[in-house]
Amino acid sequence: MTAAPLHFRDERLMLDPAGAAFWPAKRVLIVADLHFEKSTSLAARGVLLPPYDTRATLERLNRLVRLYRPKKVIALGDSFHDRSAAGRLSQDDRARIEAMAREAQFIWIAGNHDAGPTGMPGLSVAQYREGPFTFRHQALPALGPREIEISGHFHPKASIEARAKRVSRPCFVTDATRLMLPAFGAYTGGLDVHDPAISRLFPRGLRVFLLGQDQLFSFALEQLGRMAEVA
């Protein structure tokens, strides 16, 4: 796994191909849209997906915690798929979270799926600031002066026309003032970055980092603004 450095003013973030960001200076690990218990949430609507999604997500998160040894883990909202999801965690999964929370402070940012406090160890907040960064669930259309925003919510993915084939992957999206993280949860689909909901946040073009098996692939996508105008 090779992480890619990304610079905002004097701060450096490392983008991990697993779909998380790490801020080495403060030892902060950032993940978005974990969507715990999505399977049991869908089951109530008659869709019985394999009930291993929370376990799979936690195993991946635990791998990153062991790798980076963060002091803080910031979950950028929609950590739980619905408001009662925390109550449906299996004992094992709850124990996995508690074990990680003993090693790092968890900051649970509220999302649209999990607006209330989750009852999990750590801090539950609407948004969080540290250094030049504002961490929130959904990107705001307009940012404050000198504000740099780190958000989730949209589950961005991008398609690249490679030779002989179009390749579509979840991705980080960024410009000089924003970083949008891909969803980290096991069953989270994606929204193409061409969709106006995402592209209008990046009127001067954007750069995407597609997730690969052990590296990121970086592309600048310039003309996205055009789409927003016409749509």
Residues that bind another protein (CB under 8 A): 2-10, 38-40, 42-53, 55-56, 90, 159-169, 174-176, 186-190, 192, 194, 205, 207, 210, 212-213, 215-220, 223, 226-227, 230-231
Cβ distance to another protein smaller for residue 107 or 201: 201
Closest approach of another protein to the CB of residue 221, in Å? 10
Closest approach of another protein to the CB of residue 126, in Å? 25
Closest approach of another protein to the CB of residue 76, in Å? 19
3-state secondary structure of 209: strand
Helices (H), the chain: 38-43, 53-68, 85-88, 91-103, 196-199, 224-230
Cβ distance to another protein smaller for residue 47 or 115: 47
The structure tokens listed for 16 are: 């991990």
Cβ distance to another protein smaller for residue 108 or 154: 154
Cβ distance to another protein smaller for residue 124 or 218: 218
Closest approach of another protein to the CB of residue 64, in Å? 17
**Range list of β-strands (E), the chain:** 4-8, 11-16, 20-23, 28-31, 72-75, 105-109, 123-125, 128-130, 133-135, 148-151, 156-162, 165-174, 178-180, 191-192, 206-211, 216-221
Cβ distance to another protein smaller for residue 72 or 113: 113
Closest approach of another protein to the CB of residue 136, in Å? 19
d(CA 183, CA 173): 12
3-state secondary structure of 199: helix
